[in-house]
Amino acid sequence: MYKKMSDKEAVIIGAGWSGLACAVTLAHHGYKVYLLESARQVGGRARKVNFKRFLANQTIDNGQHIMLGAYHATISLFKLIGIKENEFLERHPLELNMYSPENSLIKLKAPSLPAPLHLLLAFSKMKGLNFTARFKIIKMALNLAIIRYQLKQDMSVGELLKNYSQPQEVIAALWEPLCLATMNTPIKYASAQVFLNVLKDSFSKKNTDSDLLFFRHNLSNIFCLPATEFITRHGGQVLCEEKVLGFECSSQNKVLEFIVKTSKHQFKCHNLVIATPAHITDRLLQNINNQPLINKRLANKQKLLKPAHASLHYKYEPICTIYLQYPTSTQLPGRMVGLFNTTAQWAIDRSLTNQPGLIAVIISGPGKHTQMPDKLLANTVHQELCLCISDLPEVLHYQVITEKKATFSCVVNIEYKRPYNDTNIQGLFLAGDYTNTHYPATLEGAIRSGQTAAEKIIARNSFSHFTL
Ligand SMILES: Cc1cc2nc3c(=O)[nH]c(=O)nc-3n(C[C@H](O)[C@H](O)[C@H](O)COP(=O)(O)OP(=O)(O)OC[C@H]3O[C@@H](n4cnc5c(N)ncnc54)[C@H](O)[C@@H]3O)c2cc1C
């Protein structure tokens, strides 16, 4: 049996943050949405999971997530669905405390001054670096502001840092950790332009844009469940364990119709959003591959710059989160500490999520750690924390979560490869962190993409009503 739909209805495949954002935006504009998710729960890569080895009802996140003050689309969507910032997020003015096994501590703290002064002052007062190093950071920051964070030609972050003569210790203690944290891609091949897009948004507008935002609850309770409630309250349906197997499109009275087939149902619709990761989107589009997916704007750009097609074929980078449970009295010296010249990169104190003694250690990007057995990896990062910060008690329990395809690899010239939300097929839209958001794979990128796909549907339908 088909579920047949009107123009004010839409089917969205995939209930990650981009699919949820798309569904919420459409529901808010009076659309009835059907959000189809193959997994048992919504949230995709940003969802809660059980902490298997500890308490039966203890939940952790699929990977430790952090947000920036510059994530405006995410913060306003939270507001729309009734999430109160103070209740759900803890905001800290930018502060980085970077520890290394050589006992060096590099500290950066942004004062409460207007941007970008706050940052220039923070760089000039950075502890643990000599005058020349601080001067070179400030010079680079000023030069980037002069060129408005826009490169004539993309290059790797490594090349950019070399062009601005950044000393090795500054790269190791500041730029490399920041690049990995924001782009999950090593500096030697990460896109400098995408990195600058993030720096521009975080550093050059309002001083609160560089704030670090920590979650007070797990990711599902923060966003996925309230978003689901919002959608259903507005007449939509969120269907889990509803794997989409494929879809077809046909023309009825000159209007394209899509028939979406899941393991349980079939849906007929005029508005279809595919909000699955790029490699799955590619598979779902195989039936209609005779139609060029990319839109003209992108094709033109590519002719000028690169022969490659806008593509759904990306390399991926892993993220590893190691949860270490210590006795409940154990605390880190701050909500988040950075480590450099170590396997571990960041450690977050989960006491904020009401999990005292639980430390989440993050390792972004590739490395030898991906080959280590869980026990060895947990022990390695524990030893590093002891060496860099202070002696910690024995680990009581641990859990290692490795997401092999955590994010697309944000390589040089990636911007010319990423598809826009609209396609050459009328009524078919794409959403997901990999689309052309100008951001790396982030929650903000996913939310922006989902909202843009929704706005395109709304614009298309208002236009067709207008012309009738
Ligand atoms: C470990 C880790 C740590 C991260 N840390 C951060 C961070 O600190 N800050 C930050 O901003 N970002 C971070 N990210 C990135 C962020 O989580 C992602 O960019 C974002 O969640 C992507 O959302 P999405 O909707 O684009 O894709 P996804 O979350 O992948 O959603 C796609 C959905 O489609 C569903 N699906 C797939 N196939 C089908 C099908 N056939 N039928 C129906 N449904 C289907 C999937 O089950 C999934 O729910 C991190 C990611 C990981 C993995």
Q: Per residue in 398-432, pLDDT tens?
A: 999 999 999 999 999 999 889 999 988 889 999 99
Q: Are residues 307 and 416 in the same domain?
A: yes
Atom of ligand 1 nearest to the CA of 14: 34
Q: Are residues 319 and 378 in the same domain?
A: yes
| Lowest-pLDDT range of 90-104, 121-135, 246-260 | 246-260
CATH number at residue 425: 3.50.50.60
The finding on whether 65 has its CB within 6 A of some atom of ligand 1 is yes
Q: Are residues 287 and 422 in the same domain?
A: yes
Query: Could you tell me if residue 90 is inside a domain?
Result: no
- Out of 161, 180, 207, pick the residue that ends a domain: 207
Per-residue tokens: 46: 């940003």
Q: Are residues 194 and 234 in the same domain?
A: no
The finding on whether 236 has its CB within 6 A of some atom of ligand 1 is no
Pick the residue with more confidence: 288 or 190? 190
Query: Could you tell me if residue 88 is inside a domain?
Result: no
Per-residue tokens: 325: 């449970």
Query: Could you tell me if residue 98 is inside a domain?
Result: no
The finding on whether 19 has its CB within 6 A of some atom of ligand 1 is yes
Q: Determine the Cα–Cα distance for residues 210 and 94; give it in Å rounded to an integer.
A: 6
Q: Are residues 430 and 440 in the same domain?
A: yes
CA atoms within 13 A on the CB side of 186: 8
The finding on whether 220 has its CB within 6 A of some atom of ligand 1 is no
Cα(406) to ligand 1 centroid in Å equals 8
Q: Determine the Cα–Cα distance for residues 138 and 119; give it in Å rounded to an integer.
A: 9
Percentage of residues in the chain having pLDDT higher than 90: 81
Query: Could you tell me if residue 334 is inside a domain?
Result: yes
Query: Could you tell me if residue 172 is inside a domain?
Result: yes
Give me the residue label for tokens 């004539």: 152
Q: Are residues 133 and 7 in the same domain?
A: no
451 with 18: CB under 8 angstroms?
no
Q: Are residues 286 and 164 in the same domain?
A: no
DSSP string, 146-195: HTTT--SS--BHHHHHHHTT--HHHIIIIIHHHHHHHHSS-TTTBBHHHH
Cα(37) to ligand 1 centroid in Å equals 12
- Out of 181, 207, 233, pick the residue that ends a domain: 207
Could you tell me which residues come within 8 angstroms of residue 391 by beta carbon, excluding any fewer than 6 positions away?
none
Q: Are residues 241 and 264 in the same domain?
A: yes
Ligand 1 site-directed mutation target among 65, 75, 283, 370, most atoms within 8 Å of CB = 65
Atom of ligand 1 nearest to the CA of 444: 11
Write out pLDDT tens, residues 68-101. Answer: 999 999 999 999 999 988 889 999 999 999 999 9
Pick the residue with more confidence: 51 or 359? 359
Q: Are residues 246 and 324 in the same domain?
A: no
Residue 446 phi/psi, 5° resolution? -65, -45
* Atom 48 (ligand 1) nearest CA: 44
Is the model's pLDDT at 230 over the cut of 90? yes
CATH number at residue 403: 3.90.660.20
Closest CA to 14 of 294, 228, 283, 242: 242
Q: Determine the Cα–Cα distance for residues 131 and 461; give it in Å rounded to an integer.
A: 59
The finding on whether 98 has its CB within 6 A of some atom of ligand 1 is no
What's the pLDDT band for 150 if we cut at 50, 70, 90? very high
Query: Could you tell me if residue 214 is inside a domain?
Result: no
Q: Are strands 95-99 and 89-92 parallel, antiparallel or unpaired?
A: unpaired
- The structure's pTM equals 0.93
Ligand 1 site-directed mutation target among 238, 442, 451, most atoms within 8 Å of CB = 442
Domain count, the chain: 3
* Atom 35 (ligand 1) nearest CA: 14
The finding on whether 18 has its CB within 6 A of some atom of ligand 1 is yes
Cα(44) to ligand 1 centroid in Å equals 4
Q: Give the structural domain span for 430.
A: 2-47+219-313+412-467
* Atom 41 (ligand 1) nearest CA: 244
Write out pLDDT tens, residues 309-352. Answer: 467 889 999 999 999 999 999 999 999 999 999 999 999 999 99
* Atom 36 (ligand 1) nearest CA: 14
Is the model's pLDDT at 307 over the cut of 80? no
Give me the residue label for tokens 């030609």: 153
Cα(440) to ligand 1 centroid in Å equals 13
**What pLDDT score was predicted for residue 237?**
97
Query: Could you tell me if residue 91 is inside a domain?
Result: no
Cα(407) to ligand 1 centroid in Å equals 8
Q: Are residues 418 and 342 in the same domain?
A: no
**What pLDDT score was predicted for residue 7?**
77
Write out pLDDT tens, residues 256-277. Answer: 889 999 989 999 999 999 999 9
Query: Could you tell me if residue 203 is inside a domain?
Result: yes
Please list, residue by residue across 83-112, b when 16 or more beta carbons sit within 10 angstroms of its beta carbon and e when fewer do: beeeebbeeebbbbbbbbeeebebebebee
